Amino acid sequence: MDLGISGKRALVCASSKGLGLGCAEALAAAGVHLVMNARGAEALEAAAQDIRGRYGVEVATVACDVTTPEGQAQVLEAASEPDILVTNAGGPPPGLWSDWDREDFIAALDANMLTPIALMKACLPAMQARGWGRVVNITSQSVKAPIPALGLSNAARTGLTGYVAGTSRQVAPQGVTINNLLPGIHDTDRAAALDGGVSRQQNISVDAARAQREATIPARRYGTREEFGAACAFLCSVHAGFIVGQNLLVDGGATNATI
Ligand code: NAP
């Protein structure tokens, strides 16, 4: 399917690895020029070089922490009013409800709620003025069904979801859509880190921790970054203009809900 977005320009945050990289690759495959970002310059440049080589699109890189105001200013300057914005950042650490203090919540809110909101606030006006724009926020299945060990993530991402629900309806009249993608477990460094935690906690091997988690997913496997990126690229396509303010689970059926 021709996604109809060849030649558009996208800012894809936190995209040297994992789900962000999957989104960057799928957009590049559709002919979209990219600004990619991550903190680590080496992996970022390697990913950008690979994408340039495979898809022939322009790729600029900005090595910075996108959860800081300085980092946000840097990516926004490089992307300069993009047509497409994909927000993403690392997830908050796991723990127990009684572990977390105000500072922990402020850090989680900054990274997973206030950063995407700041980026949207900066990018939406030009999209509205042009009469076309796409925003996809990478959130989590924990928005629909809480993951007890990820209370910081549950809290911050649900706040973002509420913001998107209202804002998406305010920018839709100008041809701008905002939607959220809700990953379940995908085969990325983040999933490996979570499996490592379970392995230590339960004194089992990392493979056993993974097999245990896979058994809870109806698809009986982890998702891939390519599958996730394809869903993102579709939401950014010309065909998705009537999809507004939605929360799309990409979780192999793990969230046991009718709607
Ligand atoms: P990942 O494989 O660990 O990749 C994270 C990417 O983001 C890397 O490129 C990393 O590069 C970059 N990054 C992290 N923090 C950043 C920051 N502050 N500023 C700029 N770049 C940053 O993680 P992932 O699995 O793709 O997860 C992406 C998001 O989806 C996370 O918020 C995660 O919690 C959420 N999620 C993932 C899953 C899953 O199964 N994978 C499920 C539900 C939700 P640097 O480290 O070099 O900055």
Q: Is the dihedral of CA 12, 16, 19, 23 positive or negative?
A: positive
Pocket lining: 158 vs ligand 1, CB cutoff 6 Å: no
Is the distance from CB of 32 to CB of 9 less than 8 angstroms? yes
Tell me which residue of 81, 24, 33 sits closest to 59, measured CA to CA: 33
- What gap in Å lies between CA 172 and CA 93, rounded to an integer? 34
Q: Where are the domains of the chain?
A: 9-184+227-247, 186-222
Pocket lining: 40 vs ligand 1, CB cutoff 6 Å: yes
3-state secondary structure of 198: helix
Which of 82-86, 126-130, 172-176, 190-194 bottoms out in mean pLDDT, i.e. has the lowest? 190-194
Interval 135-171: pLDDT, tens: 999 999 999 999 998 999 999 999 999 999 999 999 9
- What gap in Å lies between CA 13 and CA 150, rounded to an integer? 22
Tell me which residue of 31, 62, 32, 28 sits closest to 44, measured CA to CA: 62
Q: Tell me what the mean pLDDT of segment 192-196 comes to.
A: 89
Q: Is the dihedral of CA 225, 230, 231, 233 positive or negative?
A: positive
Pocket lining: 90 vs ligand 1, CB cutoff 6 Å: yes
CATH fold of the domain at 9-184+227-247:
Rossmann fold (3.40.50)
pLDDT computed for residue 190 by the predictor:
83
pLDDT computed for residue 219 by the predictor:
98
152 CA distance to ligand 1 centroid (A)?
15
Is the distance from CB of 190 to CB of 91 less than 8 angstroms? yes
**84 burial via Cβ count (<10 Å: 0-12, 13-18, 19+):** buried
Angle value at C-alpha 107, between 22 and 160, nearest 5 degrees:
60
Interval 197-251: pLDDT, tens: 899 999 999 999 999 999 999 999 999 999 999 999 999 999 999 999 999 999 9
Which residue has the least CA distance to atom 48 on ligand 1? 39
| Top-confidence residue, 4 or 149 | 4
The sheet carrying 59-63 orders its strands as: 59-63, 33-38, 9-12, 84-87, 133-138, 176-183, 247-250
